[in-house]
């Protein structure tokens, strides 16, 4: 387990945001765990896919796989909803002190779609 910092740059339809948090990196499976709006979030980094799981009042699970149609799974109480998405880019660059991820995906709603471009930086600090 290593302490780390997480920085996520998001661009969607001209709206840009930056999110930063402290977290921990766990090696098996390789994932970073951090807090977002009071909820625990885990990003599992694999060679061909990135999976995000958010726990809390409204759990959310998404796996991003290039050239495959996947689904965001959102739970509201006992109701579960699925939102189709397509990932057009997923690139991971790893170094001993950091991981950099570039991700482009599009939520496919019935009458419209929304594209998101993310750059995720995970920088390791001292061992915990």
40-98 residue pLDDT tens: 999 999 989 999 999 988 899 999 999 889 999 999 888 999 999 999 999 999 988 99
CA distance 6 to 98: 10
23/44 Cα distance (integer angstroms) = 13
Whole-model pTM?
Answer: 0.90
Task: Give residue limits of the domains in the chain.
Answer: 2-127
Architecture of the domain made up of 2-127: Beta Barrel (2.40)
């Amino acid at each position: 387990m290593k302490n780390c910092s997480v920085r996520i740059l998001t661009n969607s339809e001209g709206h840009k945001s930056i999110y930063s948090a402290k977290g921990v990196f766990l090696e098996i499976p390789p994932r970073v765990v951090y807090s977002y709006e009071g909820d625990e979030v885990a990003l599992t980094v694999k060679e061909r896919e990135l999976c995000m799981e958010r726990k809390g009042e409204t759990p959310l699970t998404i796996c991003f796989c290039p050239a495959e149609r996947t689904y965001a799974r959102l739970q509201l109480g006992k109701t579960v909803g699925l939102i189709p998405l397509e990932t057009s880019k997923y690139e991971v660059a790893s170094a001993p002190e950091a991981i950099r991820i570039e991700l482009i995906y599009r939520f496919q709603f019935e009458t419209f779609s929304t594209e998101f471009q993310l750059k995720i930086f995970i920088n390791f600090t001292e061992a915990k």
